[in-house]
Amino acid sequence: MSVFSGRPAYLQIADDLRSQILEGALQADDKLPSEPALMDDYGVSRIVVRQALDVLRAEGLIVKQQGRGSFVRALVPPTKRVLGHLYNERPEGSPFAAVTSAGGQRPEWDYQSRKTAASKVIADRLGIAPGDPVMRTSYRFLADDEPVMLSTSFEPLAITGGTSIEQPESGTVTGVVPRFDQIGLHITHVKEDVNGRAARPYEAETLQVPQGVPVLVIERTYYVEDQPVETADIVVSSARYVLSYRLEIPPRT
Amino acid sequence: MSVFSGRPAYLQIADDLRSQILEGALQADDKLPSEPALMDDYGVSRIVVRQALDVLRAEGLIVKQQGRGSFVRALVPPTKRVLGHLYNERPEGSPFAAVTSAGGQRPEWDYQSRKTAASKVIADRLGIAPGDPVMRTSYRFLADDEPVMLSTSFEPLAITGGTSIEQPESGTVTGVVPRFDQIGLHITHVKEDVNGRAARPYEAETLQVPQGVPVLVIERTYYVEDQPVETADIVVSSARYVLSYRLEIPPRT
DNA sequence: CTGAAAGACTCGTCATATCGAGTAGTCAGG
DNA sequence: CCTGACTACTCGATATGACGAGTCTTTCAG
């Protein structure tokens, strides 16, 4: 295998390694040749080899570990879990706890709450005015002591202020839907806007994933009859989570 | 601004530029300083500057154009569209056509259909045996002549073979749900599994996005009463699309 | 005035080289 | 046998230098 001109060498090498992975010549958890070995194999410099491996890492096909090497990632990660479909059943507690327990792992989380003023985008999502008071809570969710999800939620104090659920995590009830039930507000629906991008350094560090890997970003808002009552930004590693949604199709009219 | 030791220089530079973008010092479509200028500013080599810019590009904050420079990307892309929520109403035609027209753009697509044998993963998703005959259709969806979405769908010929909808695009009806209505099968629900990763070279080229930017991958399956009748792999640029899901919360029992 | 050519600028690709840091295997000593 | 130190190996970060290719501005000829 050697590179031909006309297409960047690092892309050709990435193509070659990718097909070896997809066709099974390199199996999950197999070790790729070391960078110096690949330099010899393809007759290129280390920069080119590293660019090729970076391509594959961004595609989620390999992981690199300093001091050890590069390894093929399992194509269907064993950590596959679901989130969105949870709402089809009546969530009894926090969706995270349910889905994590179902996967045989121990759910845990820590958080920090504080009152603050709504920024412009948050005010927009909550249907309130910028500067209005909100309760801001940052969560770090762990499965078997490993951080797997980050979330920052905002609740308008115009709704929760002075009630028993003003402090999101002070009561015995977990989960947004049951909590709002406690003050007589039944959440009727939830909207999730899903996007993807690379992890920011803080997120990569906290989630213990290599810097630059793709994450899924969910903008989730709970509504009571078109009145937003809670909105959150959720970040999960796309290597660990698959978001699964089930949508009903109404019968033909 | 200078780098301090203890944290890689390229991350510090990325942090600095990121906060300038997020705080508004650099606005959408503003041009960042050129790579040589950033080398001077921070006193580092070009490799470091490029790594910092690559971080920001993967995060979707900037775009780079050869010969022109690096530019701040609009934080809320004007091309924001929705997909998933479409199923709440009864889709009249193809969801893509509906959502694209709603955004004031002209939907178009081309495709290639062929009969083939189901691979293992596809057979698994369709609840058939590997090797069973399926109709495979690759779509390229365009909005205003620009490719924005790729899709490869599979339908078991055990269901559609010999019917009027065997060829997905030969009839006058578009959209999976109406098509199956034609043969008396009412699709009851759809499952979408969402994940994210970097674009593969073919996808990056076809979707006309820079190589390596994150894409959203949707594994969509249509069901008639728990019987899968169509499954598809859909790829969209996360820079162009936001997937929006609306989920109903049943009343308290 | 217009259009084409030249040059300056910018990013893309790649080579060579150095040092640091994390990992793992080997081997001697307790 | 277990443990600790040494060493070889691997990836991470960074410098310097070079050439190619796309873009834009300016200049000059027609």
Given a cut of 60, whether residue B15 has pLDDT beyond it is yes
As ranges, strand C nucleotides with an atom below 7 A of a protein CB are 9-18, 20-24
CATH topology of domain A9-72: Arc Repressor Mutant, subunit A (1.10.10)
A68 touches strand D (CB under 7 A): yes
A34 nearest nt, CA–C1' = D10
User: Interhelix angle for A46-58 vs A9-22, to 10°?
Assistant: 50
Give the whole-angstrom CA distance, residue A56 versus residue B232.
23
| DSSP H/E element including A188 | none
The mean pLDDT of A144-164, rounded to a whole number, is 89
Mean pLDDT for the stretch of residues B157-179: 86
Average pLDDT, chain B: 85
Any atom of strand D under 7 A from CB of B20? Answer: no
Among A31-35, A180-184, B119-123, B211-215, whose mean pLDDT is lowest? B211-215
Q: Is the pLDDT of residue A144 over 80?
A: no
Query: Considering just the CA atoms, what is the radius of gyration of chain A in Å?
Result: 22
CA dihedral angle for residue A75, residue A39, residue A199, residue B191, rounded to 10 degrees: -20
Which residues of chain A are within 8 Å of residue B201 when distances are taken between CB atoms?
A: 11, 14-15, 55
DSSP state of B37: H
All CATH 3.40.1410.10 domain ranges of chain A, comma separated, are 79-244
CA-nearest of A191, A186, A195 to A214 is A195
Assess B50–A contact: CB distance below 8 Å, yes or no: no
A249: left (phi over 0), alpha (psi -120 to 50) or beta: beta
- Distance in angstroms, CA of B69 to C1' of C2? 29
Tell me which fold the domain B79-244 belongs to. Chorismate lyase (3.40.1410)
CB-closest option in B186, B191, B243 to A244: B191
Give me B79's structure tokens. 């091309």
Residue B238 near residue B137 (C-beta atoms within 8 A): no
Instruction: Specify the domain boundaries for CATH 1.10.10.10 within chain B.
Output: 9-72
In this structure, what are the phi and psi dihedrals at residue B160, rounded to the nearest 5 degrees? Answer: -95, -15
Residue B249 and residue A90 in contact, taking contact as beta carbons nearer than 8 Å: yes
B186 close to A (CB below 8 A)? yes
Say whether pLDDT at B8 is over 60.
yes
Q: Which residue has the higher pLDDT, A118 or B75?
A: A118
CA trace torsion B114, B115, B118, B122 (10° rounding): 40
Nearest CB partner across the interface for B90, out of A198, A247, A253: A253
Strand pairing class (A189-198; A243-248): unpaired
**Reported pTM:** 0.81
Least confident of A113-122, B29-38, B73-82, B151-160: B73-82
Of A30 and B81, the one with more pLDDT: A30
Q: Kindly tell me the number of DSSP H helices and DSSP E strands found in chain B.
A: 8, 9
CA distances from A82 to A101, A174, B66 (A): 12, 19, 40
Helix, strand, coil percent values for chain A (each to nearest 5)? 30, 30, 40
Select the residue of B200, B244, B253 nearest A59 (Cβ to Cβ): B200
Q: Are A208 and A141 in contact (CB under 8 A)?
A: no
CB neighbours (10 Å) of residue B3?
Answer: 17
What are the pLDDT digits (tens) for A1-46? 555 557 899 999 999 999 999 888 998 889 999 999 999 999 999 9
Cα B36 to Cα B56: distance, rounded to the nearest angstrom: 17
Cα angle, residue B45 at apex, residues B8 and A197 outer, rounded to 5° = 55
Q: Cα–Cα distance between B227 and B156 in angstroms, integer?
A: 11
Mean pLDDT of B6-28: 90
